[in-house]
Amino acid sequence: MRRWLADRWVMGVALLVLAYLSLPIIVVAGLSFNRPSSRLSYDFHEFTLDNWTHPFPTLEMRDAVVRSIEIGLIATVISTVLGTLMAFALVRHGFRGRAGINGLIFLPMATPELVMGTSLLALFVAAQIPLGFWTIVIAHVMFCVSFVVVTVKARLAGMDRRLEEAAMDLYASEWQTFRRVTLPLVLPGIVAAALLAFSLSFDDFIITNFNSGTTVTFPMYVWGAAGKGIPPQVNVIGTAMFAIALLVVGASSLQGRRARRAALAAPVAAVGAPKSAS
């Protein structure tokens, strides 16, 4: 009995902590089906599907969500391109000042968002750049680039250089080698980086808050509504975000598992296949 406990108490604690981490999501999902008793109440009152059938109670909230998606897409494209180029330079080329570049990429990830947000605001004000949609895009690209570099770099570094040599040996020019071998092999890393960038951008509040002027993104909308009462539809958006992300993760892990299972099945299949040379 003591042994049994000793072996399992860690897992027990771990599951309790996971429950603590999961509780708010469950609550958000539950509240998305709630008809609150009053505008300022956060308690569960009555079950309804209305929030899901009418996810945008106001034009303002719909615009905020649309704007967040627009900003997220633009920031994702720019930061993915910039970050991927940097990752290639870092992994594939020698150059002077590598330490400086590494520092430049690492620092934004280690700096509090508050400091990045306020400093960018200070710059925009000093340069008299009007705050709005594009200043938000600039800010989001800035903090997404580093994460893209790190993600793509990991994928690139894990790639066997000999595959590119083999392609060149097999009559592929530099461009063909990149197009046919390098890019397809790095693509999963680039896609992962883009998804990460989008989710960082879509969810950012602190930096956006300082650099948005009067432009309202979805997090800004939630922040503004927190004081005067959050419409329950906010929880619909939150639940939908969660479901979409979960689907993406599930699909990619399923794909990975299928590939692994195929690899495991191979030796078994080989037994029944044409006899190998002997």
Partner 1 sequence: MGHETPAGDLRLANLTKRFGVFTAVDDLSLTIPQGSFFALLGASGCGKTTTLRMIAGLEEPTSGQVLLGDRDIAGLRPYKRPVNTVFQSYALFPHLDIHENVAFGLRRRGIRKVTDQVERMLSLVQLEGYGRRKPAQLSGGQQQRVALARALINHPQVLLLDEPLGALDLKLRRQMQIELKRIQTEVGITFVHVTHDQEEAMTMADTVAVMNAGRIEQLGAPADLYEYPATAFVANFLGQSNLLAGEAAGHSGDDVLVTAHGARFSVPAGRARADHGSVFLGVRPEKLHLVAGPDQVPAGHQHLGGVVSDASYVGVSTQYLVRTPWGSELSAFAANSGVGGRLPVGTPVTAHWDPRHAFLLPRAAGEDDQTSPLLDEPPVGALS
Partner 2 sequence: MSALAHVPTSSGQPAAPPGARRGRSRLLPYLLLLPGAAWLLVFFVLPLLQLAAASLYDPSGSISTGYAMTWAFGNYPDALQQYWPQLARSFGYSAIALVLALLMGYPLAYGIAQKAGRWKNLLLVAVVAPMFTSFLVRTLAWKTILSDNGWVVGLLRDVHLLGADGRLLATPFAVVLGLTYNFLPFLVLPLYASLERLDPRLLEAASDLYASPLRAFQKVTLPLSMPGVIAGTLLFFIPATGDYINAELLGTPNEYMIGNVIDSAFLVRLDYPQGAALSFLLMAAILAIVFVYLRKAGTEEVL
Q: Is 21 in the site for partner 2 (CB under 8 A)?
A: yes
Residues 183, 233: Cα–Cα separation, whole Å: 41
14/270 with CB nearer partner 2: 14
Question: Pick from 170, 226, 243, 247: which binds partner 1 (CB under 8 A)?
Answer: 170
Contact set for partner 2, span 107-146 (CB under 8 A) = 107-108, 110-116, 118-123, 125-126, 138-139, 141-142, 145-146
Distance (Å) of CA 253 to CA 18, 244, 245, 246: 20, 14, 12, 11
Q: Tokens for 157?
A: 């570094």
Contact set for partner 1, span 47-86 (CB under 8 A) = none
Q: Is 93 in the site for partner 2 (CB under 8 A)?
A: yes
Instruction: Determine if residue 56 is left, alpha or beta; phi over 0 gives left, psi from -120 to 50 gives alpha, anything else beta.
Output: beta
Q: Taking contact as CB under 8 A, which single stretch among the options 21-29, 59-67, 106-114, 171-179 is the one that binds partner 1?
A: 171-179
Residues 149, 217: Cα–Cα separation, whole Å: 26
Q: Is 11 in the site for partner 1 (CB under 8 A)?
A: no
Q: Tokens for 254?
A: 């399923």
Give residue 235's identity as a one-letter amino acid code.
N
Q: Using an 8 Å Cβ cutoff, are 56 and 231 in contact?
A: no
Helix (H), strand (E) at residue 157: helix 133-157
* Smallest separation (angstroms) from partner 2 to the CB of 272: 28
Q: Is 191 in the site for partner 1 (CB under 8 A)?
A: no
Question: Pick from 101, 150, 185, 206: which binds partner 1 (CB under 8 A)?
Answer: 185
49 binds, among partner 2, partner 1, none (CB under 5 to 8 A by kind): none
Among 45, 27, 29, 49, CA closest to 37: 45
Q: Using an 8 Å Cβ cutoff, are 104 and 163 in contact?
A: no
Contact set for partner 2, span 196-215 (CB under 8 A) = 199, 203, 205-206, 209-210
Distance (Å) of CA 272 to CA 111, 260, 264, 276: 58, 20, 15, 10
Q: Is 272 in the site for partner 1 (CB under 8 A)?
A: no
3-class secondary-structure state, position 126:
helix
Contact pattern for partner 1 over residues 246 through 265, marking x by CB under 8 A: -------------x--xx-x
14/187 with CB nearer partner 1: 187
Question: Pick from 85, 183, 265, 270: which binds partner 2 (CB under 8 A)?
Answer: 85
3-class secondary-structure state, position 86:
helix
Q: Is 255 in the site for partner 2 (CB under 8 A)?
A: no
Give residue 198's identity as a one-letter amino acid code.
F
268 binds, among partner 1, partner 2, none (CB under 5 to 8 A by kind): none
Residues at the contact surface with partner 1, assessed by CB under 8 A:
160, 162-163, 165-173, 176, 180-181, 184-185, 259, 262-263, 265-267, 269-270, 273-278
